[in-house]
Amino acid sequence: MTERLYWRYPQLSTFTARAINISPCVEKEGICDCKEVLVKVWLDQTLFYPEGGGQPYDKGFFKIAGQGANFPVIKVMEEDGDIVHYVCCPPEELDSLLSLKGHEICGEIDWQRRFDHMQQHTGQHILSQACLRVLKASTIGFHLSWEYASIDLDIAEINHDQVREVERVANEVVFGNIPVRAVEYAPSDLPPMVRRRIPKETDIVRVIEIGDFDFCACGGTHVSSTGQIGLIKIGDIGRAHGGVRVTFRCGWRALVNYQEQNESIWTCARLLSVPTNNIESGVQSLLTKMEEKGQEVKRL
């Protein structure tokens, strides 16, 4: 069974490991469309997080000691308790890669991708607890894509004032820069406030503790303090699975989204010839003029 270094050292981006097994992957469909050879690599330990729990897998590359070649790791999955790394390999390098079985391999994860996932995932824990406190709503689903994240809540609706209060509570935790810890418990020793149901056959339960604000069983990677999240911003509110779906962005994603929205606001303000804080009145004035013109046309 692969040792999961990403649990013990979530802030590291490089590591060395021994290749337990390396073999070409016969089926590439659904994994990649590259023209190179797809190879599966098993290691004795890894920093690469496999897809699971709503969090996407890490990407990165393997390096061979003494050689300049880098082999991209394009997907990481858990299979039968082991972690499998899917690697793209040029045909001319295949024999060299296969010969590394039993030898040391250097790995490096895409840190920008990993840190983004950590920001979103820890942000989700905080947002879910804020929804529980403000709305008495439990999170029944979590999804993290490349553009945004979302949680599904078991309530019928949520209004604008409630959204603002949830954001306020969540960001108070972020700005408080509260330590985030991963603690392992025996099922019988679990604190009563832990969110999420625990499978009966589990021997050890990993709990992410955010100060005394939230306790949630989780196998994902997380920031070491809430200040690293930067900001939690709620986006669209929709319907899903009989409840409410809340999309949100944390950290860099929130900043990029703000920049894009500000560009749109500035463009609209320029087209309307009004300051940015008067766009609503500018649009209303334009609609009024259009209505008046329409009435004039009818009278002709």
Q: How high is the mean pLDDT in each 10-residue block of the chain (300 residues)?
A: 93 95 78 78 96 92 76 92 91 85 93 97 98 96 91 95 98 98 90 78 89 94 97 95 94 92 88 85 84 76
CB-based burial of residue 186 (10 Å sphere; 0-12 exposed, 13-18 middle, 19+ buried)?
exposed
Q: What is the pLDDT of residue 46?
A: 97
Contact 40, 73 (CB under 8 A): no
Contact 243, 158 (CB under 8 A): no
E-strand spans in 195-300? 205-210, 214-217, 232-240, 243-250
Q: What is the pLDDT of residue 65?
A: 66
Fold category of 3-109 in CATH: Elongation Factor Tu (Ef-tu); domain 3 (2.40.30)
Q: What is the pLDDT of residue 297?
A: 76
Domain covering 115-257 in this structure, CATH number: 3.30.980.10
Q: What is the pLDDT of residue 146?
A: 86
| Identity of the amino acid at 7 | W
Contact 184, 8 (CB under 8 A): no
Q: What is the pLDDT of residue 282?
A: 81
Report the candidate in 126, 177, 120, 176 with the shortest Cα–Cα distance to residue 149: 120
The domain ranges of the chain are 3-109, 115-257, 262-299
Q: What is the pLDDT of residue 167?
A: 98
257-289 pLDDT per residue, tens: 989 988 998 888 888 888 888 888 888 888 888
E-strand spans in the chain? 3-4, 14-24, 37-43, 45-46, 60-63, 70-79, 82-89, 104-109, 139-144, 149-153, 180-185, 205-210, 214-217, 232-240, 243-250
